Chains A and B, each alone.
Chain A
Amino acid sequence: MSTEVKQYVGLDIGTSRVVAARKSGEVETCKSQLNAFVKLPHAKMTEASLTRENVPFSVSDGHIVVYGNESAALADLLGREVRRPMTQGFLNSNEPESLAQMEEILSSVLTPGEDGDPAETRICFSVPAPPAGNQDSLTYHEATVRQVLEKLGYSDIRSINEGVAAVYSELAESNYTGIGVSCGGGLCNVALTYMSVPVMTFSVPKGGDFIDSSAATVTGELADRIRLVKEESFHFNGHYADKIQQALTVYYDDMIQTVVQGLGDALRGSRQVPKMGRKVPLVLSGGGALPDGFKTRFERALQSANLPLPVSEVRMASDPLCTTARGALVAALSE
């Protein structure tokens, strides 16, 4: 009765991006889409232009919905804000179209032609660790994503914690023992694993969106403009070129401190942490870890935190934007 699995896909379902990783022979590829959409009034001319430009969109209820990578550019062009199917790591309960658009965005990264028959594909998607006292949000989020994937034809569906995925992607050398930190748009996810087994996972609700909105508040700029500056030119160099750079530094530091403090608290508070007998590596991944100097800043914060579990080295993931999806792919392959 069971179907042979012929394809494997790892899926990073993040607040800001959805990334699919797949392996063909020895080659691994990643395909990503912005996890956002913009809704425009329907006009034949707009529809024709979008079709001509190969921009992914759908038409419903007299509107054109442009989703994925092109939505940000289009929103910027039209002076609108993009809408987000997810917020703070989970499906956005205040967004009435979150499910429908999530399905569109997932479809666009899970191209059937590339993955073969979904029924013969094992897919593993990432889930965040719920912030303290908010287990319910994970329950609903995970169940709903699973159902969307089932609707797309997948039946062999697995899930993996985002921090654990970072470990699976980057820490094979240490036998999958170490700490994975994934700095995403909505949350920073942290996991400690011991020989592949998750020992402790948690998340802090400070990610890219927190930095953007906080910096926007103090500088009086739009959050989208802050995001652009952050992605295009921000780096930790100790010299503040302007007010935006200064604000970004402050809130990046806040995020790093919160993660490191959370890690210390979790390690001290957990009764499940085994004595490793040696120092463990820590890997940084996600879009939030991209600015130059982030690793150094994180190392400094770790040194002053005096963690109960010594860290041997802090390293950047080889491809931070693809780390979680790749880890999910490795998990799918190793089931």
Chain B
Amino acid sequence: MARQAKSPGRIAGAAVNWQAHRIGDPVERLKFLRKTVGDRQPFSPVVIRNSGFWKNNRGKIALAGTLLLAWPAIQISQGVSVLLSAVPAVSAQSGEAETFPNVWLLESGTTAEVWSNGLRIERLFETANLPSRFEAYPLDPKRAPVEMSAPVGIVYHTTESHLAPLEENQRKRLKLIRETLLGFIRDNRSYHYVIDRFGRVWRVVRETDEANHAGHSIWADAKYGYLNLNRGFLGVSVETQTAGSGDETPATPAQVHALKILTEMLRSKYRIAAGNCVTHAQVSVNPSNKQVGYHYDWAAKFPYVEAGLPDNYTTPIPAIWLYGFTYDPSLVNVTGSRYWQGLLRAESRLREDATAHGARPEDYRKALSQRYGTLFERVKAKAEASAEVRAISTKESTE
């Protein structure tokens, strides 16, 4: 600790301290310090030491410190700002290359598939739907949309369906309920995958096709924004209900394990970024009132870590920072506090972006909202066109 404390901050710090004492007005002095030393950034000698920055730059820093003592306040401010900006930013996400699991197909038959990580996929209820083609919208609005077809993400759902007690004397009832549920999901093309009460994984809609699981929804990664995730995102639903589960996840241990190995397989197969594996509550929006959280399955208690993923509840909700959506505070009663981490961070990001654009947050939000409106109309028109194509092809095949 003692060695850390003699970190570069002491030399530059002494200079800044000296200069600050020369500023009489307390507010101006604070303004100078916040601008110079860094606003609300945790003072972390550890970060500087670990980065090797001090070791590599101690000569420059000592020289800068000496110069600082002789320069007027404004020059000191600029000088130290430059120094600090040279310290590499430490981020849990940036700079870390995404790694993907390596899962391969072991056996494939008409009724089931088995994968190298032990995943078995039941195919008895498998069905087709329209091929999934979608547009990804670059975060830079000046760039043109990119046409894609392979899945780029996963949305997790709960079936919120009727559940029988997990008891031996309920076997017949449990089986009947499951098959009724799977039949319903197949007829409505609701999800790509369903994980039943016992952790068995059922493929319903083929991965290459769209499923009606996310409706009006938004997500984004570092490159693109995605709208209406029925296409481009795979829907995985867990047969469970979220109400009345207390603080625990409503998924059984077998379901959590199935979530993990299914996610592994899908991420391996399509190289899906871990940050694009999110819950329905995080992506669901209501375009009419421009609020997030229209559906709130898995708004809390999704076992991210147990499923082999980072805690994506902390990811800023893209609908807010990218397309200017808002939220209703009463949502917290049903969502729980984990969801709110993403909301708060999204609001912060929106404000930071607004500042960077020299705009008031409300004006910036309005501009984002207008952008969403344009994209929404575009997606809607495309969906209507494909529905027409589908109707025509159905008619032709009937004739």
A residues apposed to B, CB below 8 Å: 1-3, 99, 119, 136-137, 139-140, 142-144, 146-147, 155-156, 168, 172, 175-177, 194-199, 271-272, 274-275, 277, 330-331, 333-335
Q: How far is the CA of A196 from the CA of B6 in the complex (A)?
A: 19
Q: How far is the CA of A89 from the CA of B29 in the complex (A)?
A: 30
> Could you give 21 example pairs across A and B, Cβ below 8 Å?
A1-B360, A1-B363, A1-B364, A137-B337, A139-B337, A143-B340, A143-B343, A155-B360, A176-B29, A176-B30, A195-B13, A195-B17, A196-B34, A197-B37, A271-B4, A271-B46, A274-B5, A274-B10, A275-B10, A331-B30, A333-B27
In the complex with contacts A142-B344, A175-B33, A195-B16 CB distance below 8 A? yes
Choice from A147, A195, A335 contacting B329 with Cβ under 8 Å: A147
Q: Are B20 and A195 in contact (CB under 8 A)?
A: yes
Interface residues of chain B: helix, strand, loop or mixed (majority): helix
Choice from A136, A144, A335 contacting B338 with Cβ under 8 Å: A136
Q: How far is the CA of A323 from the CA of B337 in the complex (A)?
A: 30
* Chain A positions within 8 Å of B17 at CB level: 175, 177, 195
In the complex with contacts A172-B26, A172-B29, A271-B1 CB distance below 8 A? yes
Give the distance to chain A from B105, nearest Cβ to Cβ, in Å.
41
Residue of A nearest to B42 (CB): A272
Give the distance to chain B from A47, nearest Cβ to Cβ, in Å.
28
Choice from A2, A143, A156, A330 contacting B26 with Cβ under 8 Å: A330
Other than the given A155-B360, A175-B29, A195-B20, 9 more pairs (CB < 8 A) read A139-B340, A143-B347, A155-B362, A175-B33, A195-B13, A197-B40, A199-B43, A274-B5, A275-B2
B9 at the interface (CB under 8 A from A): yes
Q: Are A197 and B10 in contact (CB under 8 A)?
A: no
Give the distance to chain A from B84, nearest Cβ to Cβ, in Å.
11
Give the distance to chain A from B6, nearest Cβ to Cβ, in Å.
7
- Total count of chain B residues near the partner, CB < 8 A: 48
Q: Are A199 and B37 in contact (CB under 8 A)?
A: no
B361 at the interface (CB under 8 A from A): yes
Q: How far is the CA of A195 from the CA of B344 in the complex (A)?
A: 28
Give the residues from 348 to 389 in chain B that come closer than 8 angstroms, CB to CB, to chain A.
357-364
Q: How far is the CA of A335 from the CA of B26 in the complex (A)?
A: 13
B residues apposed to A, CB below 8 Å: 1-2, 4-7, 9-10, 13, 16-17, 20-21, 26-31, 33-34, 37-46, 329, 332, 337-338, 340-341, 343-344, 347, 357-364
* Chain B positions within 8 Å of A272 at CB level: 42-46
Q: Are B29 and A2 in contact (CB under 8 A)?
A: no
Q: Are A334 and B27 in contact (CB under 8 A)?
A: yes
Give the distance to chain B from A173, nearest Cβ to Cβ, in Å.
9
Choice from B10, B29, B33 contacting A277 with Cβ under 8 Å: B10
Choice from A3, A144, A196, A334 contacting B360 with Cβ under 8 Å: A3
* Chain B positions within 8 Å of A140 at CB level: 332, 337, 340
Number of A-B contacts (CB under 8 A): 113
* Chain B positions within 8 Å of A144 at CB level: 329, 332
Give the distance to chain B from A274, nearest Cβ to Cβ, in Å.
5
* Chain A positions within 8 Å of B5 at CB level: 274-275
Q: Are A99 and B31 in contact (CB under 8 A)?
A: no
Give the distance to chain B from A121, nearest Cβ to Cβ, in Å.
12
* Chain B positions within 8 Å of A274 at CB level: 4-5, 7, 9-10, 13, 43, 45
Residue of A nearest to B342 (CB): A139
Q: How far is the CA of A333 from the CA of B25 in the complex (A)?
A: 12
* Chain B positions within 8 Å of A139 at CB level: 337, 340-341, 344
Give the distance to chain A from B132, nearest Cβ to Cβ, in Å.
35
Q: Are A334 and B31 in contact (CB under 8 A)?
A: yes
Q: Are A176 and B358 in contact (CB under 8 A)?
A: no
Q: How far is the CA of A238 from the CA of B37 in the complex (A)?
A: 45
Give the distance to chain B from A66, nearest Cβ to Cβ, in Å.
24
* Chain A positions within 8 Å of B43 at CB level: 194, 197-199, 272, 274
* Chain B positions within 8 Å of A168 at CB level: 30
* Chain A positions within 8 Å of B41 at CB level: 197
Q: How far is the CA of A143 from the CA of B331 in the complex (A)?
A: 12
Q: Which of A137, A175, A194 has the most CB of B within 10 A?
A: A175
Q: Are B6 and A275 in contact (CB under 8 A)?
A: yes
Q: How far is the CA of A290 from the CA of B399 in the complex (A)?
A: 88
Give the distance to chain B from A197, nearest Cβ to Cβ, in Å.
5
Residue of B nearest to A172 (CB): B26
Give the distance to chain B from A209, nearest Cβ to Cβ, in Å.
22
Residue of B nearest to A199 (CB): B43
Q: How far is the CA of A168 from the CA of B26 in the complex (A)?
A: 9
Q: Are B360 and A175 in contact (CB under 8 A)?
A: no
* Chain A positions within 8 Å of B364 at CB level: 1
Residue of A nearest to B359 (CB): A1
Q: How far is the CA of A199 from the CA of B45 in the complex (A)?
A: 11
* Chain A positions within 8 Å of B2 at CB level: 275
Q: How far is the CA of A197 from the CA of B362 in the complex (A)?
A: 29
Choice from A146, A155, A199, A334 contacting B34 with Cβ under 8 Å: A334
Q: How far is the CA of A1 from the CA of B21 in the complex (A)?
A: 36
Q: How far is the CA of A177 from the CA of B30 in the complex (A)?
A: 11
Q: How far is the CA of A251 from the CA of B373 in the complex (A)?
A: 58
Q: How far is the CA of A274 from the CA of B16 in the complex (A)?
A: 15
Q: How far is the CA of A330 from the CA of B31 in the complex (A)?
A: 9
Choice from A143, A198, A275, A335 contacting B344 with Cβ under 8 Å: A143
Residue of A nearest to B26 (CB): A172
Choice from A136, A275, A330 contacting B337 with Cβ under 8 Å: A136
* Chain A positions within 8 Å of B360 at CB level: 1-3, 119, 155-156
Q: How far is the CA of A147 from the CA of B330 in the complex (A)?
A: 12
The 10 A-B residue pairs whose C-beta atoms are closest, nearest first, are A275-B5, A136-B337, A172-B26, A1-B359, A196-B33, A334-B30, A334-B31, A143-B344, A333-B27, A175-B20
Residue of A nearest to B10 (CB): A277
Residue of A nearest to B33 (CB): A196
* Chain B positions within 8 Å of A195 at CB level: 13, 16-17, 20, 33, 37
Residue of B nearest to A143 (CB): B344
Q: How far is the CA of A272 from the CA of B1 in the complex (A)?
A: 9
